[in-house]
Structure 1
Amino acid sequence: MTDAMSILNNPFKNKGTAFTLDERKKLGLIGTLPPRVKTIEEQETDTYALYQSKTSRIERRHFLMEVFNANRTLFFYLMEKHITEMMPIVYDPVIAESIEKYNERYLRPQDAVYLSVKHPEDIEQSLQNVSADRDIRLIVVTDSQGILGIGDWGVDGVDIAVGKLMVYTAAAGVDPSQVLPISIDAGTDNETLLNDPNYLGERHHRITGQEYFDFIDRFVETVEKLYPKSLLHFEDFGRGTAARILDKYHDKILTFNDDIQGTGIIALAGVLGALNISKEKLADQKFLTFGAGSAGMGIAKMLFDELVRQGMDPVEAKKHFYLVDKQGLLFDDTEGLTPKQKPFTRKQSEFKNADELTNLAAVVKAIHPTVMIGTSTQPGTFTEEIVKEMAAHTERPIIFPLSNPTKLAEAKAADLLKWTDGRALVATGIPVDDIEYNGVTYNIGQANNALIYPGVGFGAIATEAKKINNTMLAAAAHSLVGLVDPDKPGSAVLPPVRDMAKFSKTVAIAVAQSAIDQGFSSAKDAKKAVEKMTWEAKY
């Protein structure tokens, strides 16, 4: 391939018709492009018109991926202009559909690295083949065992890593040439994929146990060797592996798990935002987490840590939490408890009717929670009866049905407002339009991790922090509080996604400052470090 063709085929360098005549002469591009030179603004107008001509959301995503694969700068310029409209297309919820159709729609690897647990000896070569001479600062890796809402999708889940990195760039300004999406193929237990002749991954059941964790150890070691200044973000690993990997490495390297930590931070920020509106104290709340997997336990841990930071004794703080899973209320003698669940279980002796607390309705009636958060992926489970029972015992019930996509949500925001006569403080896991109720326009906050993780990661890599700890995460959550007017009727508990580029910088500076204050970074000025690292979509 000639140098000219290699430039036009490199999405990090390609400008398409925006190459000036001088650039075309200097780079050997004369004759390789139509003569008209366009500005990025003109390219964006044309590209957006083509985008709008697509009739389905999956076709729109497919078109955007073609732009992404050809010209990163134009892609992010376009996304920046239409971030509210395009976020659901490039990431959640349309990404679930793109994963389910990955094998049929596969055209290009999108600069991702594909690793096989069966071949640990290939890790280093594979990483170098894709990253080449790029200065990698941010890696999102998935083994796609626990993709929220759709489960185990094997190698097809690589779209999660690609999409997550898009949000990092669009929201926080991470240089797209400094990111690396990685798929770890450990096999799949999804029988549909195993029986699909088009499936592009390893065709065997998941490798587990020592062989799997030995691979992870070797992978982490190689990443640290090749990219010592990088943040390693783990995404959508299974319930049994995500927490174990985070526990092993969170103190040793710069790492982050969005499913555990990101969900916890956004839920904490939402609760703090709700209390900012209700003028109540965190210490006076009673928390019910419905769905005690990685996300639910990450939320409970972040809320617990905040209570302790505010001065509450840890033993007392744990009394404020109730976990409900498929078995009902989790007790200390419930079979099959995970290590993350055990610290937050209850004793049977606390209840006269402990043997009856086998469903959400019974638990709500018994404990009268003031905060109810759903990460269950059980649709419609926050019923009218349950919500009215909760609302009868607290003036401003805080109710967050966070499961997504829409078909898996525990409740609809409009119903929650109707059933509580507009008193509920609501955040959802999906975007919701403003709701008119009794003459008030209610803005519904979206507890979307994309509000928080781009700023967290960016603040950490901008200061070259040694690690991300809970103090930094709490700083991120607190930085979102106060960005919404709490005294306006119908105010949201979280700022809107459309402003994410603006407040991602606020989050990044808060995290960067926390890293500096704790001695995890040699940077001197958090704001300058963030500004210096920020990439802009321009030629």
Structure 2
Amino acid sequence: MTNAYNILNDPFLNKGTAFTKSERETLGLVGTLPDFVQTIEEQAERIYDQYQQRPDGLQKREYLMEVFDTNRTLFYYVLEQHLEEMLPIVYDPVISPAIKHYSKIFMRPQNAAFLSIDNPDAITKSLKNAAGGRKIKLIVVTDGEGILGIGDWGTDGVNISVGKLMIYTAAAGVDPREVLPVVLDVGTNNKELLDNPFYLGNKHERVTGDKYYDFVDKFVKSAREVFKDVYIHFEDFGRDNATKILNKYRKEIPVFNDDVQGTGIVCLSGVLGALNISKEKFTDQVFLTYGAGTAGMGIANMMYREMLVEGMDPQEAKKHFYLVDRQGLLFEDTPGLTPEQKPFVRKRSEFDNPDELTDLEKIIAAVHPTVMIGTSTNAGAFTEGAIKEMAKHAKRPIIFPISNPTELLEATAEDLIKWTDGRALVATGVPSAPVEYKGVTYNIGQANNALIYPGLGLGVLASESKLVTDELLSAAAHSLGGIVDPNEPGAAVLPPVSKLPTFTEKEAIAVAQAAIDAGLAGDNIKDAKAATDDMKWQPRY
């Protein structure tokens, strides 16, 4: 194979028609490209024109993935120019159907590492092969069990790792040459996949127990051996495994679980933003978590820790939390409680009619929440009756239906504004258009983890932090304040995605400074801003 062939087929090296005349001479590319030399701006104009001609989101995404597979710099340049428009295309919500069709439309592996539990001895070799000699600093890994709101998609869940890493680069400038998407193929319990002749993963049920945890452990140890000091981001693991895996490693190496921690941080940021608008105190809030799985408990724990930071007694703080899951309000004697749920459950003796507290409207009437966050994927669960009941007891009810994709939202922003006569402070998990109500335009914040994890990751990488502690997470949550004017009528509780690169930089500096202050940063890292600036990559030739 010629040098020209290798260059034009390496997305990290290829510039396509932007190779200059002198570069073509030097690299042996003369005659391998049309003669005209384009600028990256001209290439981007052509790409965007072709993008616009695709009729729907999935086809738009497939086209952008062709660019991604061909020319990484050009892909990120185009994404940077149209970030707000394209973010839902390359990630949520369009990534959901892309995952469902992954095996069927598979063309290229996007430089991912596919690790099979049936061949654990190949982990180290697989990581090295996928990296191709690149110095990897960040891994996003999934086992595909709890993908977004769509469940178990096995090895096809690798698309979530690819998508998350796209956001790290687009939003925070993490160098795409230094990242690696990984999927742990431990099987799947999705019968549709097991029966599908096109499915590319292991065609057996999920391996569980010690064999599963040993495989995860071997991956973590191998990754840290192959890529010194790599930061590992766990994504969309099942609710029985996510917190257990995070807790095993978080005091030893820099790790992060987006479902457990990221959702909690962005919701904390949203509540802080809402309280900036309502002028109320954090410690006066009563929290109802609707959907007490991985994400819901991550949110409850993040809010609880903030209560402690505010100086509240731990036992008093726990009285401010109520968990609602499939069984209704969770009590001490509710069967099947998880370790994460147990600290927050209530006593039946607190209520006159505890057996009736399976209906959300009745639960709200009994506990008077001021903050209600939905992670249930139970579409329409926040009914008009339930919301009006909440609004009776809260002057500015804070309501975040953050399940995704769109069809799984507990309520729409428009309904929440209407049902509370404009008093609700709302964020949704997917993009929501502004709501016009009684002459006021209500801007709806998006409680998207993309507001948090890219800046957090950049700060961790820039500071070379040895761990990702609660102090770093708190710094990330508080860093989003001051971007939205809370005195504007209809102000959003979170900054808009259009300002993502601006506030991720602010967040990264705050996180890096927190690492320095805690003595967790690398020996040579003294200036948070300088370290962050040095770390950022720009999509330019």
User: TM-score, length-normalised on structure 1?
Assistant: 0.99
Which one-letter code corresponds to 1:70 in the other structure?
Answer: T
| SS in structure 2 of the partner of residue 115 of structure 1 | strand
Give yes or no for the alignment of 1:535 onto 2:540: no
Q: Which residue in 2 is equivalent to 1:321?
A: 321
Aligned counterpart, 2:286: 286
Shift of 1:87: 0.3
Paired with 1:41 and 1:188, the residues of 2 have a C-alpha distance of 44
2:526 aligned with 1:524:
yes
Q: Deviations over 1:72-110 (max 9, x none)?
A: 000000000000110000000000000111111100001
Report the residue type matching 1:410 in the other structure: E
Q: Which runs of 5+ in 2 are unaligned?
A: none
2:146 counterpart residue number: 146
Residues 113 and 183 in structure 1, CA contact (< 8 A), matched pair in contact too: yes
Residue by residue over 1:323-368, the C-alpha shift from the partner in whole angstroms, topping out at 9 and shown as x without a partner, is 0000000011111000100011011111111111112111101011
Counterpart Cα distance in 2 of 1:143 and 1:46: 37
Counterpart amino acid of residue 352 in structure 1: D
Match of 1:73 in 2: 73
The match for 2:386 is 386
In 1, the alpha carbon distance for the partners of 2:497 and 2:456 equals 16
Distance (whole Å) between structure 1 residues aligned to residue 394 and residue 98 of structure 2: 42
What is the alpha-carbon distance in structure 2 between the residues aligned to residue 157 and residue 360 of structure 1? 33
Question: How big is each residue's C-alpha offset from its partner over 1:45-68, in whole Å with a ceiling of 9 and x where there is no partner?
Answer: 001000001111111000000000
* Matches of 1:233 and 1:286, distance apart in 2: 31
Paired residue type of 1:530: T
For 2:356 and 2:384, locate their aligned partners in 1 and report how far apart those are by CA, in whole Å.
20
Partner of 2:296: 296
After TM superposition, the structure 1 = structure 2 runs for residues 352-367 of structure 1, keeping only pairs within 5 Å, are 352-367=352-367
**Counterpart of 2:289 in 1: which secondary structure?**
strand
* Structure 2 counterpart SS, 1:166: helix
| Correspondence for 2:511 | 511
Q: How far apart are 1:442 and its partner, in Å?
A: 0.6
3-state SS, counterpart of residue 240 of structure 2: helix
Letter aligned with residue 524 of structure 1:
K
What runs of 5+ residues in structure 1 fail to find an aligned partner?
none
Q: Deviations over 1:283-306 (max 9, x none)?
A: 101000000000000000000000
Other-structure match for 1:335: 335
What amino acid maps onto 1:17 in structure 2?
A: T
Instruction: Give matches, 1:45-124, under 5 Å.
Output: 45-124=45-124
Q: Does the 8 A contact of 1:9 with 1:70 survive in 2? A: yes
Q: Which residue matches 1:270? A: 270
Which position in structure 2 is the counterpart of 1:42? 42
- Report the AA paired with residue 166 of structure 1: M
Deviation at 1:30, TM superposition (A): 1.1
Residue by residue over 1:298-318, the C-alpha shift from the partner in whole angstroms, topping out at 9 and shown as x without a partner, is: 000000000000100111100
8 Å CA contact 1:287–1:322 kept in 2: the answer is yes
Query: Residue 467 of structure 1 corresponds to which residue in structure 2?
Result: 467
Output the CA distance in 2 between the equivalents of 1:96 and 1:417: 28
Alpha-carbon RMSD: 0.6
Report the counterpart of residue 492 of structure 1 in structure 2. 492
Partners of 2:247 and 2:514 lie apart in 1 by 21
Q: How much identity, in percent, do the aligned residues show?
A: 61
Cα distance in structure 1, aligned partners of 2:221 and 2:532: 27
1:243 maps onto 2:243 in alignment = yes
- How far is 1:132 from its partner? 2.2
Shift of 1:434: 1.1
Write out per-residue CA displacement over residues 435-491 of structure 1, whole angstroms, 9 at most, x where no aligned residue.
111000110000000011000011001111001011111111101011100000000
SS at match of 2:127: helix
**Residues 229 and 461 in structure 1, CA contact (< 8 A), matched pair in contact too:** no
CA distance, structure 2, for counterparts of residue 217 and residue 472 of structure 1? 25
Q: Give yes or no for contact 1:173–1:536 (8 Å, CA) kept in 2.
A: yes
Cα distance in 1 for residues equivalent to 2:126 and 2:103: 21
The offset of 1:28, in angstroms, is: 1.1
1:200 Cα shift? 0.6
Whether 1:126 aligns to 2:126 is yes
- The residue that corresponds to 1:23 in the other structure is 23
Could you tell me how far 1:406 is from its partner in structure 2?
Answer: 1.1
1:178 aligns with 2:185: no
Query: How does 1:364-379 map onto structure 2 within 5 Å?
Result: 364-379=364-379
State the SS of the aligned residue for 1:295.
Answer: helix
| Count of aligned positions | 539
Q: Distance in 1 between matches of 2:361 and 2:162?
A: 40
Whole-Å separation in 2 of the counterparts to 1:229 and 1:524 = 19
CA deviations 1:227-253 (Å, max 9, x no partner) are: 123110000000111111001000101
CA distance in 2, matches of 1:448, 1:77: 22
> Which residue of structure 2 lines up, in the alignment, with residue 482 of structure 1?
482
Shift of 1:510: 0.7
Letter in 2 for 1:448: N
Post-superposition offset of 1:118: 1.4
Q: How far apart, in 2, do the equivalents of 1:460 and 1:170 lie? A: 17
**Alpha-carbon distance in 2 for matches of 1:481, 1:326:** 34
TM-score by length of 2: 0.99
CA contact (8 A) 1:327 1:359 kept: no
Read off the aligned partner of 2:444 and give its amino acid letter. Answer: I
Q: Which amino acid aligns with 1:405?
A: P
Q: Distance in 1 between matches of 2:79 and 2:345?
A: 44
SS in 2 for 1:220: helix
User: What is the aligned partner in structure 1 of residue 400 from structure 2?
Assistant: 400
Specify the alignment match of 2:414 in structure 1: 414
Extract structure 1 runs of 4+ deviating beyond 3 A.
none
User: In the alignment, is the contact (CA less than 8 A) between 1:390 and 1:397 conserved in 2?
Assistant: yes
Question: Residue 146 of structure 2 aligns to which amino acid in structure 1?
Answer: G
Question: In the aligned structure 1, how far is the partner of 2:103 from the partner of 2:460?
Answer: 35
The whole-number CA distance in structure 1 between the counterparts of 2:375 and 2:190 is 22
Is the 1:292–1:325 Cα contact (8 Å) retained in structure 2?
yes
Letter in 1 for 2:530: K
Q: Is contact 1:115-1:182 (8 Å) kept?
A: yes
In structure 1, the residue matched to 2:215 is 215
| Separation in structure 2 between the aligned mates of residue 6 and residue 487 of structure 1, nearest angstrom | 56
